[in-house]
Structure 1
Amino acid sequence: MPPEYVEIARAASERGEVVLRQRRAGDDPDAAGAVELRVNGVFVMDTVETTTERELAQAALKQVEHPREVLIGGLGLGFTAHEVLADPRVERVAVVELEQALVDWMRDGTVPHGPSYLADERLQVVVADIRSAVAEAAPASYDLVLLDVDNGPGYLVHDANAEVYEPAFLARVAELVRPGGSLAVWSAAASGPLAAALADIFGSVTPVAYDVDLQGRAEQYFLYLARP
């Protein structure tokens, strides 16, 4: 039986619609109550399959000896930021999220785990475009940068986000990374151009593939880990 959903929140902006819906029925009883995020009708993530969001944080943190200050592009449902904050070495995390409504839903409990995830005093959430935030940041501001702002260059929710995966932007991000730091990028599919751009800019890139079960479908997501 296919899952049934109930819409719990919807917001519109100049970029389109952001929708939260909750799973109420289906073949998997363990998934009942799961919250799903969709943007312009496109699945972004849910609260069942969070493996790669957590792995984005864990794999990136392993790259850096002293990840005191971390920049995350994209709040999503908060799992990446929560995993970063679980590391006692981390002193400050700045999350840049484009959609005000998503931040509000996390804060007011529309996303049930949201208030507890955002309660950490080390966390600052800024509503802005990651491109603007990166342009305004001082060089060598962060030990670690994690980018999860879209579904990757091959499955964009917003066409304008293609710039986030292009060499000019990635080179600017590299300027923010302190010596010994790292950049990690999440993607819903393998991307040769992204890997090549990161290798050219940083000198070293490691693609990591993860097999995931997405509502009964076998999928493969990718992380790209780049270090100077």
Structure 2
Amino acid sequence: MEYVEIARAESERGELVLRERREEHAPTAVELRANGVFVMDTLETSTEQALASAALAQVADPRAVVVGGLGLGFTMHEVLADHRVEKCAVVEIEQALVDWMRDGTVPHGPALLADQRVTVVVADIAVALAEAPRASYDLILLDVDNGPDQLVHDTNAVLYEELFLETARRVLRRGGALAVWSASQTHALEQTMKTVFGNAEALRREVLLQDRDEEYWLYVSRVTSDA
């Protein structure tokens, strides 16, 4: 197996690396790593697609959607495939990653970002939602980590606490939902979401990754009133 670095950037959160993975008898993959930790690649996109499709199924009319975390764009792509979606705001904290998607360093990036329904905001998702108007979105998909037990950055821990979840509830419309992706079952998150929203559901999802059966979780809370 051979790795070829495509791009590298440094921020206050550390190092972000984009590299090409070349393997005999296998398609070439573009791989994203943060501080040396594998985040995602362009071959195994099942989890990102499953996050979006499962979350969209929880809302009757997801006209306005927020995706927390751009990654390599596959969650956003699945959201845009839903004809009900009229606008999709993608919040990504790393400017370099947005630039790589826009300038073609990530080959499929420009085509995805050309969709007129997409707005990319370079910001911390907690700050972006705090500044959003009340009841302005139908669905928030949070995919910045592999859940509260597998953080990309330690500072992301606040995204699974009551203060942030209350902010998310404020910007959701009645009938809207918050969906949080997790690579492992987390009863603590489920309980915190239930405390804030008055309800929470843990949806188990089985995903096939490189001929392996993997189990992931989607935690969903719905806004059932205007309060």
Corresponding position of 1:114: 109
CA–CA distance in structure 2, aligned partners of residues 38 and 110 of structure 1: 15
Identity of aligned residues (%): 63
Q: Which residue of 2 aligns with 1:142?
A: 137
1:85 aligns with 2:80: yes
2:159 is the counterpart of 1:164? yes
Q: How many matched pairs?
A: 223
| Amino acid paired to 2:193 | L
Q: Runs of 5+ in structure 2 lacking a partner?
A: none
**Partner SS, residue 156 of structure 1:** coil
Aligned residue for 1:17, secondary structure, equals: strand
Q: Cα–Cα, structure 1 residues 215 and 10, in superposed 2: closer, same or farther, change >3 Å?
A: farther
1:207 aligns with 202
1:21 and 2:16 matched: no
Pick which of 89-98 and 197-206 moved more.
197-206
Equivalent of residue 64 in structure 2, options 61, 65, 69: 69
In structure 1, give the amino acid aligned to 2:56.
Answer: L
With the length of structure 2 as denominator, give the TM-score of the two structures.
0.93
Q: What is residue 8 of structure 1 aligned with on the other side?
A: 6
Question: What RMSD, in angstroms, separates the aligned Cα atoms of the two structures?
Answer: 1.5
| Counterpart Cα distance in 1 of 2:222 and 2:118 | 24
Instruction: Provide structure 1 residue ranges, at least 5 long, that are not aligned to the other structure.
Output: none
Is the contact made by 1:143 and 1:177 (CA closer than 8 Å) also made in structure 2?
yes
3-state SS, counterpart of residue 72 of structure 2: coil
Kept after mapping to 2: 8 A contact 1:146/1:183: yes
TM-score after normalising by structure 1: 0.92
Could you say if the C-alpha distance between residues 12 and 81 of structure 1 is closer, same or farther in structure 2, counting changes exceeding 3 Å?
same
Give how far 1:52 is off: 1.7
Q: Separation in 2 of the partners of 1:101 and 1:218? A: 33
Q: State the 1:218 CA deviation.
A: 5.4
**Aligned pair 1:152/2:120, yes or no?**
no
